[in-house]
Amino acid sequence: MSSQIPTKYLDQVLEHHTQDMTGKVVAITGTTSGTGYVCAKEVARKGATVILLNRKSERAEKALDQLKTEVPEGKFDPIACDLQSFESVRNAAESIKRKYRIVDVLVNNAGVMALRDQATPDGYDVQMQTNVLSHFLLTKELFPLLRLSDQGRIVNHSSMARLGPPLAIEYFEKKGGDLGGDGTEEENFSFRGPRWMRYHQTKLANAAFTYGLKNKLEAANISNVLSLLAHPGLAKTELATTSAAVGGMDADAEFMNMAQSAEDGATGIIRAAMDPKAQSGDFYGPDGQGWNGFPEKLTPEDLLFDEANIQINWEGCEKAVGAFEI
């Protein structure tokens, strides 16, 4: 489950920016590989019970077996959750509610990147439903359990692709398959065009969700739930491999030479999930130019908490999956 790229920062983060998680329940989406797998492994090593939220697949079963091998004392609870199906997400949330009274950390990690212009069975863009709408739904369904934690944490995963134009409501609507097409090879290989615009919209939406949620928690005088954001920089994970397989990017692009390991890519969400000094609104990611480096606490760009972006995200998500009462 490890890349060939040397890991530089994970041990330092684990030593100085985490806490004992014994007795805590951590739910993570997308743990079959990459940043989600690394996060699941490390929070389990710290003593947490880890709910693994993935689509049923041979890949998910192999990842679970590998986690059990790497962390023999770990407590892992796989629950089927297909983020391309609202019904599946609701069923996963109900399963969690039946088994657990409290969830301490929800890591909305899973994501897809630069996929073709196609609709999910629910009618939404596959990137928007996977990366944003289903995570909003999962968060609102599990919020009552997070509310009961001594310090609940909701961790959203963005990326450098958050930077760009503001959110547009059409990307949140039932227009899957009618949002710009697949673009040309030249556009896709230079990280431009409609596929990458749809991806940008999802990564900005994840950030806007974080700061919109933070505002609502503060307005409701809820101080025991933190809304947190992280991004992995450029990490060598299956995300790029999947995108390249459907023509979204060049897997051998020179740009990828800047990539850091999946382990270092996961350090942002690891800090957000376990840093004892975390405060609501904290944003963790690589320092410097943002592509690689130690996961510092970053200053969010203005567009991440822009009122118009927050409103479009919240209203678009609620229209798709129902009201989120704080």
Strand segments, DSSP code E, in 102-256 are 105-108, 152-157, 225-230
> Which residue do the tokens 């040397």 mark?
6
Active site residue 199: yes
Name the active-site residue from 24, 140, 203, 236.
Answer: 203
Say how many C-beta atoms besides its own lie within 10 A of residue 137's C-beta: 23
Are 3 and 234 a contacting pair, CB within 8 Å? no
H, E, C per residue of 149-164: CCCEEEEEECCHHHCC
Q: Identify the DSSP state of 7.
A: P
Active site residue 203: yes
- Measured distance CA(243)–CA(234) in Å, rounded: 14
- Measured distance CA(105)–CA(270) in Å, rounded: 11
- Measured distance CA(109)–CA(57) in Å, rounded: 18
Three-class secondary structure of residue 238 per DSSP: helix
- Which H helix or E strand runs over 29? strand 25-29
- Measured distance CA(89)–CA(16) in Å, rounded: 34
Name the active-site residue from 9, 124, 171, 199.
Answer: 199
Catalytic residues: 199, 203
